[in-house]
Amino acid sequence: MRTHSPSWFILSSEATADIQIDALVPAIVFTILASIMVGLRWYSRLYSACGVKTEDYLVTAALILSIGNTAVIGAEYRVDSRRKDLDLSQQSSMTTMLKLVFAQSIFYHLSVNLVKASFVLQYTRLFSLTRSIMYACYVLLLLILGATAWGVFGVVFLCKPVQQYWNLRVLGTCMNAETHFLSTSSIGIALDWMIWILPIPVVGRLKLPRRQKLSLLVVFGLGGFVCIVSILRLALVHQFAHRQQVTKSGTYALILSAIEVNVALACASLLVLKPLLVRYVPVCISDKPMTAREDMRRFSDFTDLFRAALDDMEQNMEEAKRGERRDTMTSRPTTSMEGPQ
């Protein structure tokens, strides 16, 4: 194979594969979904008192790259359709297609790792008092930085000189594109699972209202879905490529890459939509989550208050009884003094 992830299986050294509408439509749909969620994220941030954070800019940059990735898929579809309509030779569209694949690969690696970094930065704010999670977040950020460098620079310097990637007439050498695809995909899957699992022990100890638990289940469910998609992307693309089913392999690569990035963007945005939901859909979420410690403290405070109320009630009743006794004792001598003289 001559090209690289997410669509390096789309092209072989002899011919371009068919970029079908089956790949373009899901990319557009999921990009629109991600754009809506990121827009709501910004509205929620501007509405809340927390303000805009670094992770918001990372998510926005990832969305811009995702839109660029979808535009490249559209361009690939147009190039392939034009070649068929005009009955052009496969070689005539090879250079253009390879340039698009080159750009798409860079967009993919940048966008997917920016989303990962935004998740981890969000964790550092949510779990700032948990030292073990903070250390784990710092390690994850370093790993994400390394994965980004390997993904992007691995594409840029896949061939030496660089232009040999898209110009088959240039003399030079290229490293094994399949090895790079497998390594970047495996690293990405490992990072996805680490990011997904990291907060579960802490969240599991929280005492939350039922509606807020359901909201967290939705967010974690989407996070798990992203992990599954990244695994399917690696397995299906690699499987069909080795079966020489280049078109199907390329279609899976395009669809699953778009789904992975855009669902991750939606999931990252859901984490900060709480102020918006509390304002417009208050029945769907509780505004006051409680940890187990807070729950016990509130129960203890309520118990102490209840006991204090009982003590006050008993004290008032005791004082009333004493008052009645005093009244009875003072009324008896008064009666004897007022008798006949």
pLDDT tens for residues 81-107? 776 655 555 566 778 888 888 899 999
| Two structure tokens written together for 272 | 């900060």
pLDDT for 95 equals 80
Is the pTM higher than 0.85? The answer reads: no
pLDDT for 5 equals 39
Is the pLDDT reported for residue 120 higher than 70? yes
How much is the average pLDDT of 26-48? 91
Choose the most confident range, by mean pLDDT, from 133-147, 168-182, 258-272, 310-324: 133-147
Cβ within 8 Å of residue 159, ≥6 positions away: 165, 172, 173, 174, 175
pLDDT tens for residues 174-195? 888 888 889 999 999 999 999 9
Is the pLDDT reported for residue 70 higher than 90? yes
pLDDT for 79 equals 80
Average pLDDT for the chain: 77
Question: Are 181 and 8 contacting, i.e. CB atoms less than 8 angstroms apart?
Answer: yes
Is the pLDDT reported for residue 68 higher than 90? yes
Is the pLDDT reported for residue 6 higher than 50? no
Is the pLDDT reported for residue 300 higher than 50? no
34 band by pLDDT with thresholds 50, 70 and 90: very high
Is the pLDDT reported for residue 252 higher than 50? yes
